[in-house]
Amino acid sequence: MGDYQAEFPTDRRFVANHMWATGPDEAGSLRFGLTAYAVRLLQDVYFLDWTFQPGQAVKHRAEIGSIESKKAESDLYAPIAGVMSVINDAVLDDPSQINADCYGNGWLFEMRPSDGRIDSMESDHLMSPDEYLAHLEKAWEVAQRTIKGQANL
């Protein structure tokens, strides 16, 4: 957005909080990570912490951890309701993998959705690539109005 073109894989679904999802795997889990848009906003991720354990149920939008970078510290929220199944320990040990390969080895966690739709990527909270692109465009418009002091227009 702005001076940068939004490029992202089209083989996955996306969440409004700038996470991506792939799957489900054989166990019905979806894998989540941060989009390049989120990584660009954060810049140089260097710390990641989780407030949940594998096997723990979480509600949609529940706080699940935090991430720190050169530019910001942000809380992370559950992209869907479900049960956390796996944490990517490699990224926990070396969060810089998020910067280097956010759509690959930089994935964050896996969870099994609680909405019963584990056989597909359909969920009320997951967007298609086209829907996510529209979301980015709308978010960019809001950001520009905010920067210009016109947030209430």
pLDDT 10s digits, 55-105: 999 999 999 999 999 888 999 999 999 999 999 999 999 999 999 999 999
32 located within any domain: yes
Give yes or no for residue 12 having a pLDDT over 90.
yes
26 located within any domain: yes
| Mean pLDDT to the nearest integer, 102-126 | 79
pTM to 2 decimal places: 0.86
4 located within any domain: no
Residue whose C-alpha is closest to residue 13's, from 98, 134, 132: 132
What is the Cα 80 distance to its own chain's centre? Answer: 11
Close Cβ partners of 50 (under 8 Å, ≥ 6 residues apart): 64, 65, 87, 92, 109
75 located within any domain: yes
Average pLDDT in the chain: 86
Burial label for 142, CB within 10 Å (0-12, 13-18, 19+), is exposed
> Could you check whether the bond before residue 113 is cis, i.e. omega within 30 degrees of 0?
no
152 located within any domain: no
Q: pLDDT band for position 141 (50/70/90)?
A: confident
Residue 79: which domain range?
13-147
1 located within any domain: no
114 located within any domain: yes
153 located within any domain: no
Identity at 47, one-letter amino acid code: F
Here the CATH number for the domain that contains residue 96 is 2.40.50.100
Q: What total of structural domains would you count in the chain? A: 1
Give me the residues paired with residue 66 across strands: 49, 75
